[in-house]
Amino acid sequence: MSGGWNASLYDGSHGFVAQYGRALVPLLEPRAGERILDVGCGTGQLTAEIAESGARVVGIDASPAMVAQAREKYPSLEFVTGSVCEMEYAEEFDALFSNAVLHWVKPPEVAARAMARALKPGGRLVVEFGGRGNVAGLVEAAYGALRRLGIAEPEGLNPWYYPSVGEYTALLEASGIEVTLAMLFERPTPLQEGEAGIAAWFRMFGGALMAPLHAEQAAEFLRLVPETAPAHLRREGGWTADYWRLRVVGRRNGPKTGACPT
C-alpha cells in the first residue's frame, strides 16, 4: 500500500479487508519454521494469523502509519516499511502472501518480478486482490460526481490495476512463477455505516480520485457519490461494493541455484 493511510480507520470501519482475507491463509499452508513474506501487510492482522502456525513472518507495507500500528499491535512480529516494487529480497522466503494490495501497485510487472525474486526456488505464492471489473459501480459513481464538478476526463485519476486472469497469470509466468490456480470471482461486500457507507469508502480509499479537488469540492464529491452510484449497489439501508477478486496460487520455478528472474 502507499503512504497517507489512516491506520485506525482502516482497522475500524474497514476491518472487513482482513476478515475476508482470512479465507486465503489455509491456501498458504504455513508451517512452523518456514520464512514467509506478507506483502502489503497493512496493520498486520493476517501476518499475525500466519505467524500462529509457527512460521517466521515478515510483514512489509509502504505505509509508515500502517507499519507503526502493526508493530504496536504485534510487538513480537517483524514489520518493515517498503514498497513491493523496491523489495530487494532474493531467494529468502518459503512462501509469499498478499491480500487486497496488488491492485494499488504499479508497474505490476516490476512487482511480480520482485515477488518472484523474494521466493526460494519452489517457494509458494498466494495472492488475492481486485480483478477485472472490480468496483466498477463505485468507479462509475466517482466519475459521475467528478464530471458534475467539472473534471473533464476523470478516468485519468483512476489509480487501480484490475487485470484479468489471462493477463495476470501471463505476467506471473513471465516472472518465473508457475501458476497452479487462478480464479476471478464476484464478492459483493456490504459497506458499513448505512447511507453514509459509500462516502466513507471513498474517504478511506478514494484519495487519488479526489486529488484535484479542493476541500469544498471534496465535500461536495462525497455528497454527490450516493446520487451518481448505479442502483444495483443499493441494498436495504445502505450500500454494497461490487468487489471482484482475483485469486492466484503458484510456485516459483527454476533451478535450485542460479540467476533470479530480473
Residues of this chain that bind ligand BEZ (CB under 6 A) = 100, 103, 130, 134-135, 160, 205, 243
H or E, element range at 69? helix 64-73
Nearest distance, CB of residue 112 and ligand BEZ, angstroms = 18
E-strand stretches of the chain: 35-39, 56-61, 78-81, 93-99, 119-130, 177-190, 234-235, 238-252
Q: Taking the complex as a whole, how short is the minimal distance between the CB of residue 133 and ligand BEZ, in angstroms? A: 11
Residue among 135 and 199 whose Cβ is closer to ligand BEZ: 135
**Backbone φ, ψ for residue 170 (5° rounding):** -65, -40
Nearest residue (CB) to ligand BEZ, 30 versus 130: 130
Nearer Cβ to ligand BEZ, position 115 or 135?
A: 135
Provide, rounded to whole angstroms, the least separation between the CB of residue 233 and ligand BEZ: 14
**Secondary structure of residue 244 in the 3-state scheme:** strand
Residue among 173, 42, 155 nearest 109 (CA): 173
The Cα 209–Cα 202 span in angstroms is 9
Q: Which is nearer to ligand BEZ, 100 or 210 (CB)?
A: 100
Residue number, 96 or 102, with CB nearest to ligand BEZ: 102
79 vs 129 by CB, closer to ligand BEZ = 129
Distance CA 184, CA 133 (A): 10
HSE-up of residue 144 (Cα within 13 Å, Cβ side): 15
Distance (Å, rounded) from C-alpha 56 to C-alpha 50? 9
From the CB of 186, what's the least distance to ligand BEZ, in Å?
A: 12
Shortest Å, Cβ 103 to ligand BEZ: 6
Q: Indicate the residue whose CB is closest to ligand BEZ.
A: 130
Q: How far is the CB of 161 from ligand BEZ (least distance, A)?
A: 10
Q: By 3-state DSSP, what share of the chain in percent is helix, strand and coil, each rounded to 5?
A: 45, 25, 30
Which of 93, 129 has the CB closer to ligand BEZ?
129
Question: Which residue in 16, 254, 221, 222 sits closest to 113, CA to CA?
Answer: 254
Minimum CB separation of residue 201 from ligand BEZ in Å reads 8
Q: How many CA atoms lie within 13 A of 67 on its CB side?
A: 20
